[in-house]
């Protein structure tokens, strides 16, 4: 088996590259260990808590004990299915803030500023958003459909109105000119179905004769004479090599990509030596720079029985599922994240550093409901933690999971930022807009008020937002900690690229699916060597008062 390009991983970026490379007439083989995404658990947006807890669809990774979170080990779900994590995620669509990408460019990822990446965000989407024209910031003809929920529950409007009453901005489109403020949330949902990277990109690509999907477990990249020539895989109990005539592209996630690089001899020489792996390229940045978003769920009991709790029983869930199966509509056609906010934590912060997802039920991500019945919650957390962790090998056995250590909350600023999140959130839910709805605070609970009490709550209850990235950082070729150059080429090896969330120099604002797909889109143009899209001139909004006011 051979093709011009061999892509490892049919996830968000891998699917986009399969589409663009095959569209350009190149032959492509995509290697994916996971299987089909058919079935209601993945395709029904309202069932999102199921696939990420199903071993059939999830790699089932867990962190090492996290010392600053009471030595808890946290779930680290990654999609093991076509579409990758876009098939098991919450379907929230957030591009990131313009300043995130300008920071990438400033830190050595030349050509990845906001002006450079905006044309790719536009190319990848068909926007079904606001009532007005898409304008210069949004796309109208891309494979990825981006929609908004119906927002029929009055709680969604109460959340936005409470933000306005508290003095914050309101935004009509946080993915457009103005991220900062309260407004409607966007999702990769189309016609009542999850619009994953598999539905948007991979399935159309597979209809072409030059794109093939191979179900196999990728063990390592085959490197001969300093050049990647193929991928060693296991399928059907046998080990074989799938050859790449032009290049190998790793898009296996920020957990599996660094693992495969290290198993292939690319990583910190001392670490590879510990596992008896011959060094091909000494790149100490492989696996380093691991970042994520942590969040807490601030939950409130509802005065009115208008939350999704009324469906939180066997009969209710069966009714929602049946309605969706028969009509493609109803509660099951939404991820229920229909309102959100991005705010700044303090004056002197030039762009938002706190994100809110609002949900009209008090429930955990794993589907365990709060004990108090009707309630609602805001997921809240800081966007730019200074803590850094690492992915390392546990063994040279490709079947062994890597060691995942985020080192959460290891920087003192994380604690002060999280305390601000708690106090600012309480102020929002104390606004007049919520007076008809808030009975009392379920968690943390009004009694949790001092710094020490809030810190104890965070230590026990903070959860990952499942946004790992940064483990094969993009930077200048002379940067010893960079793994790939600004064209996604692995430094020190020919014919090998990385294109997924691993390459992010720093985590972006919000959820990572959109920027991961953008990376696949832009990497495709680098791979094809046809020049990138012309930079945009669109000017993003920044608060004119950011130096002197928090809102």
Alpha-carbon distance 194 to 200, whole Å? Answer: 10
Instruction: Enumerate helices (H) and strands (E) in the chain, giving the number of each.
Output: 13, 25
One-letter-per-residue 3-state SS of 321-369: HHHHHHHCCCHHHCCCCCEEEEECCCCCCCCCCEEEEEECCCECCCCCE
Q: Which two tokens stand for residue 39?
A: 């079935």
Q: Which of 103, 374, 467, 526 is catalytic?
A: 467
State both tokens at 361: 């039920």
Crossing angle of helices 412-429/451-461, nearest 10°?
A: 100
Q: What is the DSSP string of 151-219?
A: --SHHHHHHHHHHHHTT--B-S-TTTT--SEEEE-EESEETTEE--HIIIIIHHHHTSTTEEEEE-EEE
Is 327 exposed, middle or buried (CB count within 10 Å of its CB: 0-12, 13-18, 19+)?
Answer: exposed
- DSSP 3-state assignment of 294? strand
> What gap in Å lies between CA 39 and CA 194, rounded to an integer?
11
Pairing of strands 2-8, 28-32: parallel
Rg of the Cα atoms in the chain:
22
φ, ψ at 343 (rounded to 5°): -130, 165
Q: How far is the C-alpha of 143 from the C-alpha of 121, rounded, in Å? A: 11
Q: How large is the angle between the packed helices 412-429 and 154-165, nearest 10 degrees?
A: 110
Shortest CA distance to 364 belongs to which of 469, 452, 420, 442?
A: 442
Tokens of 180: 């900062």
CA distance from start to end of the chain: 58
Contacts of 227 (CB under 8 A, 6+ apart): 493, 494, 495, 496
Closest of 335, 362, 66 to residue 194, by C-alpha = 335
**In the numeric block, which tokens belong to residue 280?**
């091909």
- How far apart are the C-alpha atoms of 439 and 422, rounded to whole Å? 18
**Does 467 participate in catalysis according to the annotation?**
yes
User: What tokens were used for 17?
Assistant: 């590259």
Please give the Cα distance from 12 to 220 (Å, whole number).
Answer: 21
Give the Cα separation of 214 and 35 in Å (integer).
10
What does the DSSP 8-state code read for residue 536?
P
Looking at the annotation, which residues are catalytic? 467
């Amino acid at each position: 088996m051979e093709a011009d390009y061999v892509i490892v991983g049919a996830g968000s970026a891998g699917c986009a590259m399969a589409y663009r490379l095959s569209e350009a007439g190149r032959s492509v083989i995509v290697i994916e260990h996971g299987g089909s995404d058919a079935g209601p658990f993945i395709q029904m947006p309202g069932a999102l808590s199921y696939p990420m807890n199903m071993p059939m669809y999830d790699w089932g990774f867990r962190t090492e004990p996290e010392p600053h979170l009471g030595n808890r080990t946290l779930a680290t779900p990654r999609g093991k299915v076509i579409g990758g994590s876009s098939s098991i995620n919450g379907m929230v669509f957030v591009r990131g803030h313009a300043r995130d990408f300008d920071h990438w460019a400033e830190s050595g990822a030349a050509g990845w500023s906001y002006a450079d990446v905006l044309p790719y965000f536009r190319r990848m989407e068909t926007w079904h958003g606001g009532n007005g024209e898409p304008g210069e910031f949004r796309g109208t003809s891309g494979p990825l459909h981006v929609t908004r929920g119906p927002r029929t529950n009055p709680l969604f409007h109460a959340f936005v109105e409470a933000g306005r009453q508290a003095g914050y901005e309101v935004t009509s489109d946080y993915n457009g000119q103005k991220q900062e403020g309260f407004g409607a949330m966007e999702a990769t949902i189309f016609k009542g179905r999850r619009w994953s990277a598999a539905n948007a990109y991979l399935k159309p690509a597979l209809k072409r004769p030059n794109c093939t999907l191979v179900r196999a477990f990728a063990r390592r990249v085959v490197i001969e004479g300093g050049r990647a020539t193929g991928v060693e895989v296991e399928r059907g109990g046998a080990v074989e090599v799938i050859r790449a005539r032009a290049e190998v592209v790793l898009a296996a996630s920020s957990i599996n990509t660094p693992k495969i690089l290290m198993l292939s001899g690319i990583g910190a020489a001392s670490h590879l030596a510990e596992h008896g792996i011959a060094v091909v390229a000494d790149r100490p940045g492989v696996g380093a720079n691991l970042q994520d978003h942590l969040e807490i769920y601030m939950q409130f009991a509802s005065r009115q029985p208008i939350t999704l709790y009324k469906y939180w029983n066997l009969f209710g869930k069966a009714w929602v599922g049946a309605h969706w199966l028969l009509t493609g509509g109803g509660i099951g056609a939404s991820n229920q994240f229909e309102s959100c906010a991005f705010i700044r934590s303090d004056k002197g912060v030039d762009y938002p550093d706190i994100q809110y997802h609002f949900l009209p039920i008090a429930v955990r991500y794993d589907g365990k409901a709060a004990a108090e019945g009707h309630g609602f919650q805001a997921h809240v957390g800081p966007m730019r933690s200074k803590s850094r962790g690492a992915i390392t090998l546990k063994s040279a056995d490709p079947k062994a999971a890597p060691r995942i250590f985020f080192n959460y909350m290891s920087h003192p600023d994380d604690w002060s930022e999280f305390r601000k999140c708690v106090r600012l959130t309480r102020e929002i839910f104390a606004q007049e807009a919520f007076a008809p709805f808030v009975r009392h605070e379920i968690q943390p609970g009004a009694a949790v008020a001092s710094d020490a009490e809030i810190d104890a709550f965070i230590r026990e209850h903070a959860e990952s937002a499942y946004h790992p990235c940064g483990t094969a950082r993009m930077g200048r070729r002379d940067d010893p900690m960079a793994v790939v150059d600004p064209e996604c080429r692995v430094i020190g090896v020919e014919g090998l690229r990385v294109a997924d969330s691993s390459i992010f120099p720093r985590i972006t604002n919000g959820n990572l699916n959109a920027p991961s797909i953008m990376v696949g889109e832009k990497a495709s143009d680098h791979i094809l060597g046809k020049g990138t899209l012309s930079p945009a001139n669109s000017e993003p909004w920044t608060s004119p008062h950011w130096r002197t006011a928090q809102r």
